[in-house]
Amino acid sequence: MILKRIASLSLALFLILLPFLVLSPTVFAVGNTCVWSGAVSNLWSNSGNWSTCGGTTPGAGDIVEFPISASNKPNSNDLVGLNLERIVFFGQDYVVTGNAITISPTITTVMQFVNTSGNNDYAIDTTINGGSLSISQDDGSGINAISGDLNFNSMTGDMNFYNYDPGSLVISGNRTGSSTNVNYYGNINLSGTGTNTYTGGINVTNASGRTNSSALTVSSLTALGAGNPNINVNSTSTSPVGINFFTAGSYSNNINLVGSDFAPELSSNGNVTLSGNVSANSDLSFIKPQSGTLTLSGGLNVNQDLEIEMSPSTNLTKSGASPIAIANNTTLSINSLGSYPGPTITVSSAITGSSSAAVNVSGETFLNLNASSNSYDGTFTANNNAIIRPLANTALGTTVGSTTINNSSVLWLSGSYVIPENITVTGTGRPSGAYSGGAIWSQLPVGASSTEVSGTITLNGNTTFAMDDPGSAAPDDELILSGPITGSGNLTLLRVQGTNSTRFNFLQTSPNTYSGKTILQGSTLDLNGGAQTIPNDIDINSTPTQSASLGLSSNDDIADDTELPLYDYTTHGTFQ
């Protein structure tokens, strides 16, 4: 009876464990450590090529090592169905090819490149079984490559790639299967032309103990796997971390920039399109196009401060239905490196954000704002030669916020629209070259006859508004200023090119209050608002190429004691 009960219990236990015995990957006890000598040939099946391998060739559960000194460093696995514990490279200049193998480690390490000052290439297709596992490059200046395919099979945890070296660990083989996440630590280069079908999230960060910057370089359109996995770029407390899209084309992953002490970076080379959402969730994050045009067609979520740093000869486009969403008390900075002509940034998507949000543009940067409906309540600021060009009525957002054009920068008006924005402005625009001479610059395209600013303009010192009709537009271009002009300093109205019908038009219905005088520099000014729109004296200055003209529509357009000196330089000034 007791024997029958024991047999019955044993059978029941066997039936319970049977699914796991059938479905679980085979795990072997750790066997021999087989060190390659290559003394006889380049084939793994010759026992004479191995030392400390029990007098035979590698088998199930063995560790395979490639030492510093050996013969036949290019070698080939001609064994079939080999299932190893792990593979370790101590030497350099190995090229390992041959039949596919399986690695089922009893610890977390699958493969190591240790103290390798040269290069190695592991070109065997490999299936990896287990939980959370790792491949690492340790303590050497070499560039090691894994060009064989990797299949993450029955993995219940993360697959980790570590690079503790200043050099790069190159992964160019196809990756298939699945894991919870694929984590890249240190400088990793994903290349190859195959179709990577693995699924799982992607995390990019630095290897423990490293203090210099590191990045995941994406050198293949298919390198990031199937299913468009989300990518987290995590800067550490000791160093910045980035992701670099090095191959032109389109990527549809959502990218999350995370960090605290150091800023995470997203960079691109060539014409790259990112159609997923890009989110800045660090104290400061960077987007850095290095060459070509970076197109962001998904959402740009500025949850914490983000700086877009433009290299010379690069451009950036933000398109698509998803907006640039700027969180409260957060700044989006756009800066340009280099001299004129600088990068062009074109934003055709809407911008959203509260009154505590800010967009700051600096350097030789040309910012086009094309969206026809922006609910953005924050501010725009231009500094250090930057140009902001609104191309729709509400391109600068709602009237809750304001725009500031600081000395040497320009607000370029170039379309038939009405800008309700409140604007603070100073200076004469760019110091030299294109768009120099006016802090507010009006140059209309063919088919456009006027641009109007209906918000309040505040002068923050002597300021010049300029109109330029180079002959390509209609001859009656008009800059209408219907909002009040306040502040301090002289206001100069300059006509760069054009006829007398290329003119400024003051349509204010209440008096302007700026403290300085008004100077017509080869320009035409019509006063049609019926209010005292010229608060102080006015100079009417013709130039050698442009006449100046002032037109009044009522007795109240100027103060009774206004002085009206006319200066004639070949062309005649007029007072009508």
Amino acid at 468: D
User: CB pairs under 8 A, 24+ apart, for 337-342?
Assistant: 337/309, 337/310, 337/311, 337/312, 337/363, 338/311, 338/312, 338/363, 338/364, 339/312, 339/364, 340/364, 340/385, 340/430, 340/433, 340/434, 341/366, 341/434, 342/310, 342/312, 342/366, 342/385
Amino acid at 554: S
pLDDT at 563: 60
Amino acid at 429: G
Tokens, residue 532: 């005292």
Strand ranges, E, within 8-118:
33-36, 50-51, 63-66, 74-77, 82-84, 86-89, 95-98, 101-103, 109-114
pLDDT at 502: 80
Tokens, residue 318: 């933000």
pLDDT at 340: 81
Torsional class of 320: left (φ above 0), alpha (ψ -120 to 50), beta (otherwise): left
| Residues 289, 272: Cα–Cα separation, whole Å | 9
| Residues 15, 481: Cα–Cα separation, whole Å | 88
Chain center to CA of 421:
28
pLDDT in tens, the chain (576 residues): 333 333 343 434 333 333 333 333 444 456 899 999 999 999 999 999 999 998 999 999 999 999 999 999 999 999 999 999 999 999 999 999 999 999 999 989 999 998 767 899 999 999 999 999 999 998 677 789 999 999 999 788 999 999 988 778 999 999 998 888 999 998 999 998 778 888 888 999 887 766 567 889 999 888 888 777 899 999 877 778 999 999 999 999 999 999 877 899 999 999 999 999 999 999 899 999 999 999 999 999 999 999 999 998 899 999 999 999 999 999 999 999 888 888 999 999 999 999 999 999 999 999 999 998 899 999 999 999 999 999 999 999 999 999 999 999 999 998 889 999 999 999 999 888 788 889 999 988 777 778 999 999 999 999 999 988 765 545 568 899 999 999 999 999 998 876 656 889 999 988 999 999 999 998 889 998 777 788 899 999 888 877 888 888 766 667 655 666 655 554 444 544
In DSSP terms, 105 is beta-bridged to none
pLDDT at 552: 80
pTM of the full structure? 0.88
Tokens, residue 385: 């030669």
pLDDT at 514: 96
Going by C-alpha positions, the residue among 394, 398, 461 that lies closest to residue 425 is 461
Residue 79: other Cβ atoms inside 10 A: 15
pLDDT in tens, 67-79: 999 999 999 999 9
Greatest extent of the chain over all pairs of C-alpha atoms, in Å: 128
Between the alpha carbon of residue 11 and those of residues 6, 22, 545, the distances in Å are: 9, 16, 107
pLDDT at 562: 61
